[in-house]
Amino acid sequence: MDSDSDDELVLHTLLSAAKDMIHARGKSSHCEKKHRKWINRDREATNELLVRDYFSHDSLYDLSRFEERFRISRNLFLRIARDLKYNYEFFQLRWDAKGKCGFTTIQKCTAILRQLTYGITADASDEYLKMSERIGRECTYLFYEYVIELYRDIYLRHPAKSDVEQLYVAHQAKYGFPGMLGSIDCTHWEWENCPNVWCHTPEPDDGNVRGLA
């Protein structure tokens, strides 16, 4: 399967997770607001560090390291970030009433992907991205809503026959098992050397064993 196909599958999974989180958020109770001490965070310096680490032409970490840490390719990350920036004001660079620069699109998307990738809390982005828990949580919830608005007609619809056929071909090309849409359980695949069957079933006359793992 090529990188474009991988990105499509990742984006489909991402939207499914976002849909579940939106549903869960609707059921959760609102937390009591807490008054916190204001902290002067250097957002511009943090953005420069982030760009230097992952997004510049000669970034410190290469594309493979990016994908290991973000769980998506950099091309897909930038595609999502660009679509959010062009369609929603929240993901555009803004300045507050005091003239202080806000977070860039890639800072917000990085905070979101780190939460989704590692299952960390919103305030875990404070040390590296200098983003407060409140903003980190707001970014994540708006991200869920907006990616569903942007991509649901493509990735959250029921698959057509042609979609299923493409998934069959892609899965066989990558894993070597035809006719599969999800994880395999060996129930329909003739596997000559299936270890579970060899332990419990006499060898048939034709030499083929139907796996029952």
Listed ranges 94-108, 128-142, 167-181; the one with the highest mean pLDDT: 128-142
What pLDDT sits at residue 153?
A: 86
What pLDDT sits at residue 171?
A: 76
Cβ neighbours of 127 (radius 10 Å)? 8
71, 131: one domain: yes
What pLDDT sits at residue 129?
A: 86
Can you spell out the DSSP letters for 136-205? HHHHHHHHHHHHHHHHHHHHSSPPPHHHHHHHHHHHHHHHS-TT-SS---SSS-B-TT-HHHHHHSPPPT
56, 151: one domain: yes
**β partners of residue 210:** 190
Choose between 3 and 95: higher pLDDT. Answer: 95
The 3-class secondary structure across 16-42, one letter per residue, is HHHHHHHHHHHHCCCCCCCCCCCCCCC
Choose between 176 and 47: higher pLDDT. Answer: 47
Q: Is residue 185 part of a domain?
A: yes
What pLDDT sits at residue 98?
A: 73
99, 195: one domain: no
51, 126: one domain: yes
How far apart, in whole angstroms, are the C-alpha atoms of residue 65 and residue 95?
Answer: 32
What pLDDT sits at residue 8?
A: 75
Decide if 155 contacts 174 (C-beta within 8 A): no
Q: Is residue 212 part of a domain?
A: no
113, 184: one domain: no
Determine phi and psi for 124, rounding to 5 degrees. -70, -15
pLDDT at 195 over 80: no
**β partners of residue 101:** 95
Q: Is residue 211 part of a domain?
A: no
pTM, full prediction: 0.65
Structural domain total, the chain: 2
Q: Is residue 11 part of a domain?
A: yes
Instruction: Write out pLDDT tens, residues 85-96.
Output: 999 999 998 887
pLDDT at 97 over 80: no
How far apart, in whole angstroms, are the C-alpha atoms of residue 1 and residue 175?
Answer: 9
124, 170: one domain: no
What pLDDT sits at residue 85?
A: 95
145, 168: one domain: no
Give mean pLDDT, residues 147-171.
Answer: 83
Rounded mean pLDDT of the chain? 77
Domain hosting 185: range is 162-200
What pLDDT sits at residue 192?
A: 62
* Band of residue 42 on the pLDDT scale cut at 50, 70, 90: confident
Q: Is residue 53 part of a domain?
A: yes
110, 172: one domain: no
Instruction: Give the least confident one: 53-57, 178-182, 188-192.
Output: 188-192
How far apart, in whole angstroms, are the C-alpha atoms of residue 140 and residue 154?
Answer: 21
